[in-house]
Amino acid sequence: MVEEKKVVDEVSGWLRVFDDGSVDRTWTGPPEVKFMTEPVPPHDQFIDGVATRDVTIDPGSNLRVRIYFPEEHQDPTSETKLPIILHFHGGGFCISQPDWFMYYQVYTRLVKSVRAIVVSVYLRLAPENKLPAAIDDGYAALLWLKSLAKGGSNEPWLNTHGDFNRVFLIGDSSGANIVHHVAARGGSIDLNPLRLAGAIPIHPGFVRSQRSKSELEQPESPFLTLDMADKFLALALPKGCTKDHPITCPMGSAAPQMEGLNFPPMLLCVSEKDLLKDTEMEYYEAMKNANKDVELFISPEMGHSFYLNKIAVDMDPVTGAKTSELIQGIKEFIDKH
């Protein structure tokens, strides 16, 4: 008789860890939300103005990316090159994929609004792959773009239409933590002929082991509860580390001094009612004090990752309007860099 596996850890709805180390990420929360976690297959033909394809960028590690390409730009004779946006998805380093519908619906929209090519990385997930695995993957994708820029390898959409002089990093939630760390790594080496033109951390998962005022006072949202944040980070951080680790607390005493780091211009996006607002603002102040070029984009009345919640974006006019404003703010930042 086969012994049944026992659940040793669980993050409500999202993930279960078993005693043999295996992980089940089947969505078990409200069924009406499940569509947001469904994968969207790649399509080389244009659907609503965007085509997508999945590309393996490192056969050795099987690291893949999803590329989003806007339709108006398929004319091969066009001289105008498009900015390239390297995207790191959220999910507390433990869940989600670039092909999930929740990202698809936002990043196809961004591609059309900004007129850019988005490259979204299939990051390795914890707890099977503890941090810094996801950051290493993000950095490997940046180095892949550098190899394309040098002509060392070729990806037709990017090599024909991409402007390697205008590469931006963008990330949602824990993906915004990856933006910070990949930008810092990229700033420490010669990326020529690629240029990192900007970085856009959206609602980063910056925390401390001690609860902030906003964590204690702000309402929990569908995409972030204190339980989710605590459990995901406990599963993701290296063994024995607390939330004061530099990956989750880059403004803390354990992290490298900001002054010594080389960053591109940054647009930090914060939600007024985010549980993590106070620690995100601490990061903003630390960047300002280190004389870094950082702008702040605040979404009033909104919670963590509100723009990914397709139901709220469609049904609630305020969430819909704030999502449009966020995309416009990102567009304006990219246009001027």
Given the residues 120, 174, 304, 305, select the one marked as catalytic. Answer: 304
Given the residues 274, 278, 299, 305, select the one marked as catalytic. Answer: 274
> So what's the pLDDT on residue 78?
65
Encode pLDDT of 127-140 as tens digits.
999 999 999 999 99
> So what's the pLDDT on residue 73?
58
Encode pLDDT of 261-305 as tens digits.
999 999 999 999 999 999 999 999 999 999 999 999 999 999 999
**Nearest CA-CA partner of 228 in 303, 310, 318:** 303
Per cent of the chain over pLDDT 70 is 98
Beta-bridge partner residues of 145: none
- pTM for the whole structure: 0.97
* Rounded average pLDDT over 228-232: 96
Using a 10 angstrom Cβ sphere, with 0-12 exposed, 13-18 middle and 19 or more buried, the burial of residue 93 is buried
Which of residues 12 and 83 earns the better pLDDT score?
83
CB contact at 8 A, 70 and 117: yes
DSSP string for 166-177: EEEEEEETHHHH
CB contact at 8 A, 179 and 169: yes
Q: Is residue 304 annotated as a catalytic residue, yes or no?
A: yes
Encode pLDDT of 303-313 as tens digits.
999 999 999 99
> So what's the pLDDT on residue 74?
59
Encode pLDDT of 30-60 as tens digits.
999 999 999 999 999 999 999 999 999 999 9
| Mean pLDDT estimate for the chain | 96
Using a 10 angstrom Cβ sphere, with 0-12 exposed, 13-18 middle and 19 or more buried, the burial of residue 184 is buried
Distance of CA 125 to the CA centre of its chain: 13
CA distances from 169 to 133, 135, 268 (A): 18, 12, 12
φ/ψ of 65, rounded to 5, equals -130, 155
> So what's the pLDDT on residue 1?
62
DSSP string for 88-131: E--STTTS--TTBHHHHHHHHHHHHHHT-EEEEE----TTTS-T
Q: Is residue 173 annotated as a catalytic residue, yes or no?
A: yes
Residue pointed to by tokens 């991409």: 162
Q: Is residue 316 annotated as a catalytic residue, yes or no?
A: no
- pLDDT beyond 70 at 252: yes
Per cent of the chain over pLDDT 90 is 93
CB contact at 8 A, 226 and 287: no
Residue 2's pLDDT band (cuts 50, 70, 90): low
In the DSSP assignment, the letter for residue 41 is P
> So what's the pLDDT on residue 152?
87
Encode pLDDT of 137-160 as tens digits.
999 999 999 999 999 889 999 999
DSSP string for 130-141: -TTHHHHHHHHH
Name the token pair of 61. Answer: 């590690």
- pLDDT beyond 80 at 168: yes
> So what's the pLDDT on residue 22?
95
Given the residues 73, 136, 161, 173, select the one marked as catalytic. Answer: 173
> So what's the pLDDT on residue 12?
85
Encode pLDDT of 14-24 as tens digits.
999 999 999 99
* Rounded average pLDDT over 149-175: 96
Q: Where are the beta strands (DSSP E) in 21-81?
A: 23-24, 43-47, 50-58, 63-70
